A and B are shown apart, each in its own frame.
Chain A
Amino acid sequence: MFATDAVHRAATRTMPPPPVTPLATRLTRLALAALAVVVLVYAWHEAEMNPAQLVRDAGNMATLGADFLRPDFTDWDVYANAMLETLAIAIWGTLLAVIAGIPLGILSAENVAPHWLVFVVRRAMDACRAINELVFALIFIAAVGLGPFAGVLALFVHTTGVVAKLFSEAVEAIDPAPVEGIRGTGGSWLQEIVFGVLPQVLPLWISYALYRFESNVRSATVLGIVGGGGIGMTFNETMRGFLYSQASAILIMVVLTVSLLDMISQRIRKRFI
């Protein structure tokens, strides 16, 4: 301890005073804090935040809550059918997206595709990702009518954007040596992809595809609310008819199904990584 004290004394004798935050920096911080407060206040008004309403309408909440606490499974077979429809939407929406995402993912990877093409494909995929599944569902309902097929198409387009990006990132992270090995044998560009790139990215791709399937099951439950078929449609009908006990039963089934699928797909994914 003596030694450190001595060092400390020596240091304080020879060292300059510790640095002070300059005034300009402090003023900037103050201005930023003020700006944050202004944004929060403005957003409060814009969002018509009114906590008092929760208290005022406490009666409604109590009725709703009471009904939700008594789930009514009388029509469970109807819900199960609708749930299966939702799963079907998610399965086909994801599968089509993966099929489209493989070439698009490869073509948007900087290390295997020409720059101009990468740019074009990436912007297209950005557009697919930027627009929510619900919006796509509304568009496809206008095109092919109400029902699960519109939901499949909506998931397909949005998920293609997501999957292509994830796939291309996996491709960009590969070890280039095996690809050069194939190139060295006189293989074509496509053969370099098949024998040099795919073996490296396949486990990751499978894992990404399963993960997207999980989240698409969740999304597919919502699609029904705008008319895209499945359990969401049934849920929407019960809520509109003030059948809260039945709505509660549907929600419980959704939660159980989604959790179960998450567990299964997580197991499968672990095997591939």
Chain B
Amino acid sequence: MAAALQLDRMTKTYGAMRAVDNVSLTIREGERVALIGASGSGKSTLIRLASGLILADAQGRGTGAVQACGLKVQEGGKLAAEARAARRNIGLVFQQFALAGRLSVMTNVLVGALGRMNALRGTFGLFNSDERRTAYAALAEVGIAQHAAKRARELSGGQQQRVAIARALVQGARLVLADEPIASLDPKSAKRVMDTLVTMSRDHGIALVVSLHQVDYATAYFDRVIAMNAGRVVFDGPAAQINAAFLTELYGASAEELILPSQFAVAAPPDTKAPAETHSSQTVS
């Protein structure tokens, strides 16, 4: 089985700044990984590189290669020919939701089906009843089916983020990359979104990479933690090894940003499906 995500010697510089510095890593199928680090440590850049939204520096053949579920996204600073096919396997969740605010929640979720549809039908937005059923089931799974007809921007931040997760579900993603998905949410919505992400990953065997700057979330929800600093991976191992002393050792004074006490203590992740939120027994394949 191919790895869910494989990065090989990725480097990205902006001017004189090395945002990502020679990073290689592998995420296994169905694995859940937290990507932590202070602002500016390269987490977002790494996620954007992995999805091919930005290209790595060209440093010769074989370097800067990204493979997702066996399909090449980019290599040597060039987008791969099969990048679009590869992206279909990658669901993206952004800090600012990246939804079309004026379109309905339903349409925003249906957009996930575009990659697998006939191009012409997709372009004109002629979704068939099968796709609509899938989208509705995905909305039910993240617990916002009742808002399907509303405009996306009428929803709260946490609800919008769950629309983005439903979109990844409809997409049939094998890997979800979430870039600071809870950074602009209040603590209660943040917890709910994290629960939804982890439940989705667990129920469908979807690999999950979430960048966070709250370490307490990383240790509560994930087994494996990758820590970045100044564009480099400085730690990659079990979450159990992460504690305040360790973080201070890694980040010095900037560790404070990572271990700020959150308003609500982070409870353990749901071992079973959370009630009400994911009551639907329909699964989306």
Contact = CB atoms under 8 A, between A and B. Distances in A.
Interface of A: 177-178, 180-188, 190-191, 194-196, 199-200, 202-203
Contacts of A186: 84-88, 114-115, 171
A228 B150 CA distance: 48
B103 interface: yes
Nearest to A176: B98
B94 interface: yes
Interface residues of B, number: 32
Contacts of A177: 94, 96-98
Given A181-B94, A182-B111, A187 B122 contact: yes
B177 to A, nearest CB: 8
A66 B31 CA distance: 90
Contact of B92 (A181, A190, A200): A181
A24 B51 CA distance: 60
Nearest to A198: B100
B102 A199 contact: yes
A186 B103 CA distance: 19
Interface of B: 51, 53, 84-88, 90-92, 94, 96-103, 107, 111-112, 114-115, 119, 122-125, 164, 167, 171
A185 B100 contact: no
A195 B101 CA distance: 11
Contacts of A191: 114, 119, 122-123
A176 to B, nearest CB: 9
B40 to A, nearest CB: 19
Contacts of B115: 185-187
B114 A184 contact: no
B98 A199 contact: no
Nearest to A193: B123
Given A186-B84, A186-B114, A195 B125 contact: yes
B84 A188 contact: yes
Given A177-B96, A180-B53, A184-B87, A190 B123 contact: yes
A246 to B, nearest CB: 50
A185 B103 contact: no
Nearest to B116: A186
Contacts of B85: 186
Nearest to A202: B102
Contact of B99 (A178, A188, A203): A178
